[in-house]
Amino acid sequence: MKDIAVIGTGYVGLVVAVGLADLGNRVTGVDIDDVKIAMLNEGELPFYEPGLKDYLEANIESGRLDFTRDIAAAVVKSSVVFLAVGTPPRRDGSANLEYLESSIDAVAEHAPSRTLVVIKSTVPVGTSRALGERIRSRRSAAGIEVVSNPEFLREGRAVQDFFHPDRVVIGAESEWAREILAGIYSALRLNEVPFVCCDMETAELIKYATNAFLATKITFINQMASLADKVGADIALIAKSMGMDGRIGEKFLHPGPGFGGSCLPKDIRALASTGDSFDVHMSLVKSVIAANEELKTRVVMRLKELLGTRIRGLSIAVLGLAFKSNTDDVRESPALRVVADLLEEGAFVRAHDPQAMDNFRAVFPDISYCASGHEAMKGADALVILTEWNEYRSLDFNLMSKVMKGRILLDMRNVLNSRLAREHGFVYRGNGRVIKELIQSR
Ligand code: UDX
C-alpha cells in the first residue's frame, strides 16, 4: 500500500485516483475547483462515466480515497505523485503546459526527499525530462524522479480500461522508479497485462503515435464510406473484410460523422506541431486533421442534397450530441459543426442526447432540446443521427412516420435498419451503404 497524490481530477485523474485506491493504495485527489472537490467528497461525479460512481463511493467509504484543494498537504504525505492535469491546445495546436508546470513547482516545494512523480497528462516529447530538470533547478534534493506513464483510457469505458488495459507503458530512467510503478500496477499483471518499459521520450511518443494512428484509421474508413456512397458499395462489408486481415484488425473502422473528443483532435494537432518544431513535416497527420474537418462539414451538405438544396425554414431533428456514445462530453463533437452549419443555413434544430444536452446547451443555448429521440422528430422535415447511442438503434418507425413531417433519414452511424426504414416509406441514407437501385436511379 502506498500513499499517493493524484493532481487533477478530470477524466484521466479521477479514474486513476479511483482505480489506484481500489488497488489498495491510500489516494488523495487534488483539484483547484472547489465545487468539484465538494462533489467528489460526497461521492458525486462531475461528469457522466458508466460504472465510475460505484467505485468512487466504495473507495471513499473504505477510507482509502479523499479529495482536497490543498496540493501541499496532499504532496507532503505521499511517496508517489501522479500528475493528470490538462494540457489544452494553444492557438497553434501546441500543448499548453502551464498547469503542469505550476503543479510541478508545488511538488518541488512540498514533496518529501524521495518521491516518484508520474506524468499521466499527455505531453509533447521531451516534457517529462524537462519537468525533472525543472524540479532539480528548484531544489537540490536529487531524490525526486520523474517518469512518463501515458494513459490510454477511453471515455465511456474508462473504468474497464483502467483495470484491463492493453498494456502499461513505463518510461523511466532508473530501476528504482520502474520498480515502484510496476509494483503499483502489479495487481494488473494477474490479468496478464503486458508492461512496456522504455525511456521517457519513447513513452511520450507511444501515446501520440497511438492516438494519431487511431485518428488516421477512422478518417480512412470515413473517406472510404464517402466513396462507397458514390459507387454503391457496402462499407460494413468493406470494413469487416479489411478487419479480417490480421495486419489491419477490425477495430476503429466504424464510419461516423468525423472523430471528436478531448484527446484525438488535440493530440494529433500537438503531434503535427511537435513535428514542425523538429523540422519533420508530419504531412499524413496534417492531412488527417484537414480531412476530419472536411468530413464534418459534409453532413449538412448530404442533408441538403437529400432535401433538394433548400434547408432554410425547415425543422431538422438531430439525434446525438456527444462525440460518441456513453459519454456526456461534447468537446470537438461533430454535432457542434453540424448544428452550427444548420443554423447558418437557417434551419430550426430539434436536438436530443441521452446525456450530453446540458453540455451542448452551454454552447448552443437557443436550439430546442427534447426529452427523447421521438420527441425531437415531432414535425421534423428530416432526421440526422450523429451518435451511436443504443437507444437510437430501436427507434419506432411506425411512430416516426406518424410524428415526422418529412421522410428523410440521414444515419451517419449506420445504427438503423435500412430495409425497415425503406419499408416504412422513409428516404433512408446511411454512411457508405447506398443501395444499388438508388445509385442507378440517379
Ligand atoms: C481516445 C483514445 O481511444 C484513448 O486511448 C485515449 O486515451 C484518449 O483518446 P476517446 O477520446 O475516449 O479515447 O474516444 P475514442 O473511443 O477513441 O473515439 C474517438 C472518436 O472517434 C469519437 O468521436 C468516436 O465516435 C470516433 N470513432 C471511433 C469513429 O468514428 N469510428 C470508430 O470506429 C471509432
Q: What is the pLDDT of residues 8-38, one digit of tens each?
A: 999 999 999 999 999 999 999 999 999 999 9
What's the pLDDT at 143? Answer: 87
What average pLDDT does the segment 309-330 reach? Answer: 95
Q: Whose CA is nearest to atom 34 of ligand 1?
A: 252
What average pLDDT does the segment 233-243 reach? Answer: 96
What's the pLDDT at 436? Answer: 56
Q: Whose CA is nearest to atom 13 of ligand 1?
A: 154
Residue 154 CA to ligand 1 centre (angstroms): 7
What average pLDDT does the segment 267-295 reach? Answer: 96
What's the pLDDT at 48? Answer: 94
CATH code where residue 114 lies: 3.40.50.720
State how beta strands 408-411 and 382-385 pair.
Answer: parallel
For 290, residues 6+ apart whose C-beta sits below 8 A from its C-beta are none
What's the pLDDT at 90? Answer: 87
Residue 311 CA to ligand 1 centre (angstroms): 31
3-state secondary structure of 130: helix
Listing from the earlier edge strand, what are the strands of the sheet with 168-171? Answer: 65-68, 26-30, 3-7, 80-83, 115-119, 144-148, 168-171, 195-198
Q: Is pLDDT above 60 for 280?
A: yes
Whether residues 184 and 320 share a domain: the answer is no
What's the pLDDT at 235? Answer: 96
Q: Could you tell me the residue range of the domain that residue 55 belongs to? A: 3-198
Q: Is pLDDT above 90 for 310?
A: no
For 113-151, write each residue's pLDDT tens digit.
899 999 999 999 999 999 999 998 888 766 899 999 999
Whether residues 193 and 229 share a domain: the answer is no
What average pLDDT does the segment 378-404 reach? Answer: 97
What average pLDDT does the segment 78-97 reach? Answer: 91
Whether residues 285 and 174 share a domain: the answer is no
Q: Is residue 219 part of a domain?
A: no
What's the pLDDT at 188? Answer: 83
Which atom of ligand 1 sits closest to the CA of residue 258? 30
Q: Is residue 272 part of a domain?
A: yes
What average pLDDT does the segment 318-347 reach? Answer: 97
pLDDT-based confidence at 189, cuts 50/70/90?
Answer: confident
Kindly report the average pLDDT of the chain as a whole number: 94
Q: Is pLDDT above 80 for 335?
A: yes
Q: Which residues are bridge partners to 67 per DSSP?
A: 29
- Catalytic residue annotation: 263
Find the residues whose C-beta lies inside 6 A of ligand 1. 151-155, 211, 214, 218, 252-254, 256, 259-261, 263-264, 323-324
CA distance 407 to 308: 13
Residue type, 12: V
What percentage of the chain carries pLDDT values higher than 70? 98
Q: Which of 198, 215, 235 is the last residue of a domain?
A: 198
Whether residues 59 and 136 share a domain: the answer is yes
The tally of domains found in the chain comes to: 2
Residue 259 CA to ligand 1 centre (angstroms): 7
Q: Which cell numbers hold the place of 196?
A: 512496456
pLDDT-based confidence at 439, cuts 50/70/90?
Answer: low
What's the pLDDT at 438? Answer: 56
Q: Is residue 205 part of a domain?
A: no
Q: Whose CA is nearest to atom 16 of ligand 1?
A: 154
DSSP assignment of 46-59 equals SS--TTHHHHHHHH
- CB atoms inside a 10 Å sphere around CB 279: 6
What's the pLDDT at 4? Answer: 98
Whether residues 125 and 8 share a domain: the answer is yes
Q: Which cell numbers hold the place of 18?
A: 479511483
CA distance 298 to 308: 15
What average pLDDT does the segment 42-62 reach? Answer: 96
Residue 258 CA to ligand 1 centre (angstroms): 10
Q: Is residue 130 part of a domain?
A: yes
Whether residues 166 and 276 share a domain: the answer is no
Using the CB atoms, write b or e for 267-277: b if 16+ within 10 Å.
bbbbbbbbbee
Which atom of ligand 1 sits closest to the CA of residue 253? 33
More confident residue, 190 or 103: 103
More confident residue, 77 or 91: 77
What average pLDDT does the segment 209-218 reach? Answer: 98
Q: Is residue 433 part of a domain?
A: yes
Whether residues 40 and 100 share a domain: the answer is yes
What's the pLDDT at 88? Answer: 87
DSSP assignment of 80-135 equals EEEE-----B-TTSPBP-HHHHHHHHHHHHH--SSEEEEE-S---TTHHHHHHHHH
Q: Which cell numbers hold the place of 112?
A: 518529501
- Nearest Cα to 348, choosing from 395, 391, 380? 380
